[in-house]
Amino acid sequence: MKVVHSPLHRRHQGGLELHRAELVPSFECPERADYIRDALAEAGHAFVEPRRYDPGVLLGVHEAGLVDFLRTAYARWQAEGRGGSMLPSGFPARGLRRDRVPEGINGAMGYYAFDAGSPIVEGTWEAAFAAAQCALTAAELVAEGERAAYALCRPPGHHAARGSYGGYCYLNHAALAVQRLRDRGIGRVALVDVDYHHGNGSQDIFWERSDVLFVSIHGTPDTEYPYFLGYADERGAGAGEGFTLNLPLPRGTGWDGYAQALDVALQAVSDFDAGALVVSLGVDTYEGDPISAFRLDAGCFPMIGARLAALGLPTVLVQEGGYAVAEIGTNVAGVLGAFK
């Protein structure tokens, strides 16, 4: 299938994250995309460059305040004489005001971020916007008749909400792909999120919409990141009530438990009668992932791909997580290989 990819992802690198009370190099590193690129080239997939879009396209799924913050944050940081990674040190949690954005860069960062694990470096905006353009292009290729297309996005996107960023995600590429398919005339779009972590950003963006079904299979927020969203009783609100489906699973889940949840998820997609499918494709469900706790082996990914492909829908796959760097390419290629 067509793989949309930009070398600009590499501009987002060298960031540090808070992990077990220490600042460590981010698990979300440029080598991830290199391994995926090499495995997909080896498997014979065709690479295409992203089309160019105006940043205004981001306002279909994001607040202007977040977009402006991300675009200008590093320059503001540098203007105060700082370098390296930007990480927030205070958040508007319960009991604090969240009705105004602080004037200074540290307060503004805490306002828009929801964790201390998502560094902004000099090239973060450029990389994230390039990834957004990859996802938009993949959506347009599918709207124009491709059976499936894959956006090799880095950094990932599904944790980025309408007005906040975190979880290594700055802009929500899968949500942008969904919105693009809608704008190209596809009436109902299903978004299936198979990343190990709940896609809180995507859920937030489509929470009150009945034209987008959001379904996520993930480690239970009782113990797993992002901790504060992704429970089974979250089902959407207003017009969107019943159009969010969360299938949280315990740490240690292997193929049997996973496959059962996947069947429930894909039955919901069938019942929704979607015109197209977007997949938030995280492969951090792999048993060797350093920050996750499911037990899927490499042989599971072709089976996941086969079940997604069996829906028979025009499909946009968007790269999300996966931190077992040396195996990430094989696992992604395993999913994509099912779409013939």
Question: Under the rule (CB under 6 A), what is the footprint of ligand SP5?
Answer: 117, 156, 159, 167-169, 195, 197, 225, 282, 284, 291, 320-321
Closest separation between CB of residue 196 and Zn ion, Å? 5
Closest separation between CB of residue 171 and ligand SP5, Å? 12
* Closest to Zn ion by CB, 157 or 240: 157
* Closest to ligand SP5 by CB, 167 or 230: 167
- Using CB under 5 A as the binding rule, whether residue 158 contacts Zn ion is answered as no
* Closest to ligand SP5 by CB, 29 or 101: 29
Under 8 Å CB-to-CB from 336, ≥6 apart: which residues?
Answer: 1, 40, 43, 45, 150, 305, 317
Closest separation between CB of residue 282 and Zn ion, Å? 4
Binding mask 282-321 for Zn ion (x = CB under 5 A): x-x------------------------------------x
Q: Which does 199 bind (CB under 5 to 8 A by kind): Zn ion, ligand SP5, none?
A: none
Closest separation between CB of residue 208 and ligand SP5, Å? 24
Cα–Cα distances in angstroms (integers) from residue 253 to residues 185, 258, 293, 323, in the given order:
38, 7, 8, 18
Q: Which does 236 bind (CB under 5 to 8 A by kind): ligand SP5, Zn ion, none?
A: none
- 159 a catalytic residue: yes
* Closest to ligand SP5 by CB, 272 or 292: 292
Catalytic position from the list 159, 197, 198, 218: 159
What would the DSSP string read from start to end of 202-269? HHHHHTT-SSEEEEEEEE-TTTSTT-SS--TT----GGGTTSEEEEEE-TT--HHHHHHHHHHHHHHH
Closest separation between CB of residue 250 and ligand SP5, Å? 15
Q: Which does 329 bind (CB under 5 to 8 A by kind): ligand SP5, Zn ion, none?
A: none
Contact 59, 136 (CB under 8 A): no
Instruction: Tell which phi-psi region holds residue 73, choosing left (phi > 0), alpha (psi between -120 and 50) or beta.
Output: alpha
Q: What angle do CA 183, 157, 72 make, to 5 degrees?
A: 95
The amino acid present at 329, given as its one-letter code, is: G
Binding mask 164-203 for Zn ion (x = CB under 5 A): -------------------------------xxx------
What would the DSSP string read from start to end of 13-79? -S-EEEETTEEEE-SS-HHHHHHHHHHHHHTTPEEEPPPP--GGGGGGTS-HHHHHHHHHHHHHHHH
3-state secondary structure of 307: helix
The amino acid present at 287, given as its one-letter code, is: E
Closest separation between CB of residue 323 and ligand SP5, Å? 7
Q: How far apart are CA 309 and CA 338, in angstroms?
A: 7
Centroid of chain to Cα 113: 16
Q: How far apart are CA 221 and CA 225, in angstroms?
A: 6
* Closest to ligand SP5 by CB, 172 or 182: 172
Among the listed ranges 16-24, 170-178, 278-286, 302-310, the one in contact with Zn ion (CB under 5 A) is: 278-286
Q: Which does 156 bind (CB under 5 to 8 A by kind): Zn ion, ligand SP5, none?
A: ligand SP5
Closest residue to ligand SP5, judged by C-beta, is: 321
Q: What is the CA radius of gyration of the chain?
A: 18
* Closest to ligand SP5 by CB, 77 or 225: 225
Catalytic machinery residues: 159
